[in-house]
Amino acid sequence: MPVLRSAVPAEQRPDGPALPSAANVAALRPVRESLQWFRRERNWISERHLQVCRIAAPTFFEQKRAEWMASQFRALGCLPQIDRAGNVVAFLNANSHGPFLAVTAHLDTVLAPRREEDIHYGADGRLYGPGVSDNGAGLAGLLAIAAAVKANPELEDLLSNIVLIANVGEEGEGNLSGMRYLCRQSPNALALKQFLVLDGPSTEHITSRALASRRFDIVFTGPGGHSWSDAGCANPVHALSRAITLFTEHRAVMLPQPSSSPRSSFNFGIIDGGTSINSIPSQARSKVDLRSESPAKLEEMATLLHSCVDRAIEVENDRSAQGGRPLGRVQAAIREIGSRPGGGLADDSPLLLAIRAADSHLGIRAILECASTDANIPLSLGIPAVSIGTGGKGGGAHTPQEWFHAEGRETGLQRILLTLCLLSA
């Protein structure tokens, strides 16, 4: 609304464009009333949080939760649509226009509740169950922002460049598929100019650098056989174990100190194979996650992984050939199943400066960090993006004991709304 925009004084920075004053923006009546909405409607937010978490949404199976989110946006007066990737894209109204600042939260979870009762409030006021923090907190925050804006027509007009998105494919092997579609293939791709990613509750961190990662599926195969009559036959489990051992023995070389720069990590997160204790397995599989702040180091780790697999094959087949005749050989295949690109946001980006200004006004102390989130994709494409929490406290992410407590949530939500107002004023 022109009157609202013209009422926002600005502080001129010597090194760039004018930066609106957070205190002056927060003092404007429409903004002030909307910031108060989060405290007044905390029960409404908590109820939506409970409801969305009770809808199972493991990666690749987010449809029911997406449909529920679309219905909630529609009930608030937004115009939602579900795109070809499965993302819920909600415009505030028919007057919404680009270029857009996208506020996003991922739909999927690593674990999913088996029953509605698995998601419940405890006597301590905590919400318990798989995905309640990551990313039930983000989705509840997305709905809260939509409701607060729609409750105030003047603010809705100011934020007509905002689009709210609940996206698929952030966790596990989703490989950021929802965000990839939004940034590369969506009809709105060229209009999405900034991304504010809501992920989890913590307000103590601002993810402004994207941590690159690569994920591999390693499969060893062999003839299999009986543990006694075919003893000595090359064993895929033995070969896989040797490959993992060879790789981890290089830890001192690859990762000399956990706090060293650039930081890197690896994790063999899944291992399976075999059919019975007295059968030589015909297959063994592992999935590994490699991460590094350095693209060169990440490539070095991937190369090492391949060489360790090759060496494990050689050793296991040599062992099986002892005595003069091969007793069956193993082979292996390595398939890359995920790749998250890196990137970073400049310290003087208006997006980051707006968050910092909101933090200063609200008394939030946050540090910049490097992590792997939906922000990886836009950052890798040179599109300004950050990932922040929505307020409250949480723990046990990616476990059945995950929990969330709403204490302080309103401050996190106020931070998000004030940031949007600063960027739109």
Crossing angle of helices 42-53 and 29-40, rounded to 10°: 60
Beta bridge partners of 367: 205
Q: Closest Cα to residue 13, out of 348, 358, 424, 351?
A: 348
User: Which pLDDT score, from 0 to 100, does residue 323 have?
Assistant: 56
pLDDT tens track of the chain, all 425 residues? 334 554 555 554 434 456 679 999 999 999 999 999 999 999 999 999 999 999 999 999 999 999 999 999 999 999 999 999 999 999 999 988 889 999 999 999 999 999 999 999 999 999 999 999 999 999 999 999 999 999 999 999 999 999 999 999 999 999 999 999 999 999 999 999 999 999 999 999 999 999 999 999 999 999 999 999 988 899 999 999 999 999 999 865 555 555 567 889 999 999 999 999 999 999 999 999 999 999 999 999 999 999 999 999 999 999 887 755 566 899 999 999 999 999 999 999 999 999 999 999 999 999 999 999 999 999 999 999 999 999 999 999 999 999 999 999 999 999 999 999 999 98
Crossing angle of helices 42-53 and 136-150, rounded to 10°: 140
H or E stretch including 25?
A: helix 22-27
> Domain 212-340 belongs to what topology?
Alpha-Beta Plaits (3.30.70)
Residue ranges with strand state E in 123-210? 127-128, 162-167, 192-198, 205-210
**Residue 380: CA count within 13 A, CB half-sphere:** 20
User: Which pLDDT score, from 0 to 100, does residue 255 have?
Assistant: 56
Q: What is the DSSP letter of 350?
A: H
User: Which pLDDT score, from 0 to 100, does residue 381 have?
Assistant: 97
H or E stretch including 214?
A: strand 212-221
Class of domain 16-210+342-424 as given by CATH: alpha beta
> How far apart are alpha carbons 209 and 204 in whole angstroms?
15
> How far apart are alpha carbons 280 and 400 in whole angstroms?
34
Q: What is the DSSP letter of 92?
A: S
Beta bridge partners of 19: 11
User: Which pLDDT score, from 0 to 100, does residue 98 have?
Assistant: 85
User: Which pLDDT score, from 0 to 100, does residue 261 have?
Assistant: 72
User: Which pLDDT score, from 0 to 100, does residue 254 have?
Assistant: 57
Tokens 């949080």 — which residue? 49
Contact 181, 83 (CB under 8 A): yes
User: Which pLDDT score, from 0 to 100, does residue 321 have?
Assistant: 75
pTM of the predicted protein model:
0.90
Torsion of CA 226, 231, 236, 241, to 10 degrees: 120
Can you read off the two tokens belonging to residue 227?
């543990």
Domain boundaries, the chain: 16-210+342-424, 212-340
Backbone angles phi, psi at 397, to 5 degrees: -55, 140
User: Which pLDDT score, from 0 to 100, does residue 232 have?
Assistant: 87
User: Which pLDDT score, from 0 to 100, does residue 45 have?
Assistant: 98
User: Which pLDDT score, from 0 to 100, does residue 259 have?
Assistant: 58
